A and B are shown apart, each in its own frame.
Chain A
Amino acid sequence: MAKTISVTLKVWRQKDAHAPGRLVTYQMNNIDIDMSFLEMLDIVNQGLELKGEDPIAFDHDCREGICGSCGSVVNGHAHGPEAETTLCQLHMRRFKNGDVIVIEPWRAEAFPVIKDLVVDRSAFDRIIAAGGFISVRTGSAPEAHSVPVPKENADLAMDAAQCIGCGACVAACPNASAMLFVSAKVSQFALLPQGQPERRSRVLKMVTQMDNEGFGNCSNHYECEAACPKGISVSNIARMNRDYLCAGLTSA
């Protein structure tokens, strides 16, 4: 017999971007602890649909922790209480019978709420569009082995490149800063020989766009690193700051 628990949910419900939101309580009984958090929300929603009520809107897609679609603040933690875990990979066995679970959307000026738990994260796309790429036209690439990359650098680049763009770093930061997200992309390319030609202009453009989007600055709380489901290190922020300083000095 599967082990089950009962929990009380308090979920942020907000009709649209302009309507005021509020926490609505849902009592959930007989929740199988092997269920994922989103599967638990599916059950809430099926109940609402059968009553003809509007189900809770939340973004999700791959449900294996890689697409970056899902994410809510659960009991004050972005993606919930488990370290290095997206909301879709969080399982109900991490909760106890009788727990009260408060579920809210990411809160940040740059991520306006669209409905319920769905927020607008298009600011991230605009930051990438500002410079988060290497300008190589299709077909113009040299043979892959013509430029060896030291393994340590390739590994560090991969550590940074694992970012899934979920926005938990912003949600966790008291300043709603996007520095972890931006620095992960800046670092990935700064660590690779292919990224060098545009290294300076890239960091300047991406940081400018980040500021324009209304994200706050970094004041070294490191909440972003603690919330990041991919364990991206704040050392990337230090690397970006160094690059930004160098680029600013030489471009002035």
Chain B
Amino acid sequence: MSLDANVPSGPMSEKWSRHQFEMKLVNPANKRKFTVIVVGTGLAGASASASLSELGYKVKTFCFQDSPRRAHSIAAQGGINAAKGYQNDGDSVRRLFYDTIKGGDFRSREANVYRLAELSVNIIDQCVAQGVPFAREYSGLLDNRSFGGAQVSRTFYARGQTGQQLLLGAYSALMKEVTNKGVELYPRREMLDLVVINGKARGIICRNLLTGKLERHVADAVVLATGGYANVFYLSTNAKGCNVTASWRAHKRGAYFANPCYTQIHPTCIPVHGDYQSKLTLMSESLRNDGRIWVPKKKGDVRPPNEIPEEERDYYLERKYPAFGNLVPRDVASRNAKEVCDSGRGVGSTGMAVYLDFRDSIKRVGKAVIEEKYGNLFQMYDKIVDQNPYERPMMIFPAVHYAMGGLWVDYNLMSNLPGLHVLGEANFSDHGANRLGASALMQGLADGYFVIPYTIGHYLASTKLETVGAAHPEFAAAEAQAAEMTNKLLNIKGKRTVDDFHRELGLLLWNKCGMARNDKGLKEALRQIPAIREEFWENVTVTGGAETLNQNLERAGRVADFLEFAETLVYDALKRTESCGGHFREESQTPEGEALRDDKNFCHVAAWEFKGAGKKPTLHKEPLEFEEVHLAQRSYK
């Protein structure tokens, strides 16, 4: 199958408007004849569900949480980028486009990113109209702050809870459509399979998590907005429920998985403190606006931070990257934190932490201002670590945070499987090898509010769809397969817990395929993953029954998928022998230790085709062509 991204012709700045005009439309009376399934209710899924329903489509929306309002977008803290240019500081659609392409280390598709930058301004308008209480200045106008990888202030925010406020906006729009009877809501459902009939995605199998009953849902198109796979590392900043299951099972039905090795390690998280730990907590990147990152100059300096004098501190980001200072992109900040810790200058009980210090900002603007901007984050830090960050610098360390990779999609956000559309973090499309801060919210909402409502219409209007029902043999076969997997898991009755396997896999990936990767380690991981997977299927214990609420069984199914997916992630990392963004291959670095790309051999999207569990997937390439941006070695100095 050829990988045609279907990028419209014409100048970059006219592609989307031209495409909007050229796409086919479904007339208003016919829209209600089409059913669209949306899986996931984060920013992308909730906004898509609401917008499609407003247009007149029949929408069925699914989430595994008890309420759509709890999807993990809710935890995004810092903000959302938009090229509004309110600050008079030189911002523009073009600059946001350029910053995003460069931040992604020239591994994203130009046309998608340009569209994202264009749509960013509409998102802010939409959210303000919904009653999202963004931070404002005394004039009553919207306030902005700065994020990494940009030299302008274009980030809109609602204290440290921007994701929450944007999601509640999208959720309220979704609930409005539930009342208008355009959306049928199915909470506490987990998608277990994609049903493909005559080569087109025509429905899903899901498990009602309360009753255990398997359900068949038929549709004319399926939209996955099921988030990222960072939890494959076990410890990450993702919610405990985040998983790869929906994406992976669609992948097993033929959808290609693109760039799985591009995982984002976020520089400012609370360090790991014990082996019982269940997750890691992010401290928003916005803190880098006012916090200064440093370690002692001397190795093994165990003095309390406030007793280390100024001249004995190494503000290493300010020293190495004077142009961007503490606001370098995430991949650069993370790698540098690892480097100083590996050199023996890390702090804290494990030596795997650096300081994020607000002393100078508090001196400059006062505690009250810092508290207004970051109060909830400081409070969260205090609760977890039991230290007051107003008085003592925070200790932070990088942690797995976001997946740039995801299911492959074309310009219309449709996968190679006709009818299967993928939005938000679940797709691969806009962030290249590294996502800039405050761009995830932007992408999720752009996809859901402003892209899919157009492109899905084009698909439905230009595709011949046979009438199919839930009794179709493909539905029966997919349901039987899901039931069989459940039975198998329940009958192993082994001696190790699901979490125990998940932890083992996560630690292996973190060590071999984390912030730095090399040929030897990746090959070692490829040897070990199948062994863990085999033991899982022989020795895991899953208690309880199939036809009841069974959280142990839910986790087991997700971990089983992570155990397959991890191998594809590592294959991708092994194959890409260049360094780019969050993917740092030790063999490919500049003399200064920065990521060194290999544009000659790797200026492409790597999209993997499933060939069976444990079998090597087949690689398909989508070449990346740059019309607007000149490929350059990234520099933040």
Secondary structure at chain A's binding surface: helix, strand, loop or mixed?
Answer: loop
**Binding-face segment, A97-105, A121-129, A244-252:** A121-129
B54 touching A61, Cβ below 8 Å:
no
Cα-based distance from A137 to B383 in the complex (angstroms) = 40
B172 touching A138, Cβ below 8 Å:
no
A122 touching B126, Cβ below 8 Å:
no
Contact A121 to B67, CB < 8 A, known contacts A151-B138, A162-B164: yes
> Beta-carbon contacts of A114-125 to B below 8 Å, as 1s and 0s?
110010111011
A50 touching B133, Cβ below 8 Å:
no
Residues of A within 8 A of B453 (CB): 138
Contact A144 to B125, CB < 8 A, known contacts A39-B276, A93-B386: yes
> Beta-carbon contacts of A133-153 to B below 8 Å, as 1s and 0s?
111111111111101111100
B129 touching A154, Cβ below 8 Å:
no
Contact of B126 among A32, A141, A188 (CB under 8 A): A141
Contact A91 to B386, CB < 8 A, known contacts A145-B142, A158-B133, A188-B133: yes
User: Taking the complex as formed, is B633 at the interface, i.e. its CB lies under 8 A from any CB of chain A?
Assistant: no
A128 touching B133, Cβ below 8 Å:
no
> Beta-carbon contacts of B149-192 to A below 8 Å, as 1s and 0s?
00000000011010011001001110110110000010100000
A141 touching B499, Cβ below 8 Å:
no
Contact A57 to B549, CB < 8 A, known contacts A133-B172, A133-B173, A195-B131: yes
User: Taking the complex as formed, is A10 at the interface, i.e. its CB lies under 8 A from any CB of chain B?
Assistant: no
Which B-chain residue is minimally distant from A41 (CB atoms)? B278
Interface residues of A in 189-215 (CB under 8 A from B): 189, 192, 194-195
Contact of B276 among A16, A42, A55, A128 (CB under 8 A): A42
B380 touching A65, Cβ below 8 Å:
yes
**Binding-face segment, B68-76, B251-259, B316-324, B597-605:** B68-76
User: Taking the complex as formed, is A23 at the interface, i.e. its CB lies under 8 A from any CB of chain B?
Assistant: no
B240 touching A60, Cβ below 8 Å:
yes
A142 touching B141, Cβ below 8 Å:
no
Residues of A within 8 A of B390 (CB): none
B124 touching A144, Cβ below 8 Å:
yes
B278 touching A129, Cβ below 8 Å:
no
**Binding-face segment, A66-74, A172-180, A216-224, A234-242:** A66-74
Residues of B within 8 A of A132 (CB): 172, 175
B67 touching A138, Cβ below 8 Å:
no
Contact of A157 among B51, B124, B133, B548 (CB under 8 A): B133
Nearest CB of B to A40, in Å: 8
Number of A-B residue pairs, CB cutoff 8 Å, is 222
A85 touching B383, Cβ below 8 Å:
yes
Nearest CB of A to B292, in Å: 24
Cα-based distance from A137 to B7 in the complex (angstroms) = 28
B278 touching A52, Cβ below 8 Å:
no
Contact A61 to B551, CB < 8 A, known contacts A35-B276, A52-B493, A66-B161: no
Residues of B within 8 A of A53 (CB): 543
Contact A55 to B551, CB < 8 A, known contacts A34-B273, A151-B138: yes
B130 touching A136, Cβ below 8 Å:
yes
A sample of 9 more A-B contacts (CB under 8 A), given A49-B552, A194-B130, is A53-B543, A55-B544, A63-B281, A64-B282, A67-B70, A89-B383, A129-B176, A161-B158, A161-B168
Query: Which 9 pairs, one residue from A and one from B, show the smallest C-beta to C-beta distance?
Result: A148-B140, A141-B129, A133-B172, A158-B133, A141-B125, A129-B175, A138-B51, A157-B133, A61-B239
Chain B positions near chain A (C-beta within 8 angstroms): 47, 50-51, 54, 65-70, 72, 74-75, 84, 86, 122, 124-126, 128-131, 133-142, 158-159, 161, 164-165, 168, 171-173, 175-176, 178-179, 185, 187, 210, 239-241, 273-274, 276-279, 281-282, 379-380, 383-384, 386, 449-450, 453, 493, 495, 497-500, 541-544, 548-549, 551-552
Chain A positions near chain B (C-beta within 8 angstroms): 2, 16, 32, 34-36, 38-39, 42-43, 45-46, 48-50, 52-55, 57, 59-69, 82, 84-85, 89, 91, 93, 114-115, 118, 120-122, 124-125, 128-130, 132-145, 147-151, 154-155, 157-158, 161-162, 164-165, 188-189, 192, 194-195
8 example contacts (A-B, Cβ-Cβ < 8 A) are as follows A2-B274, A39-B276, A46-B499, A52-B541, A61-B241, A66-B164, A122-B67, A133-B176
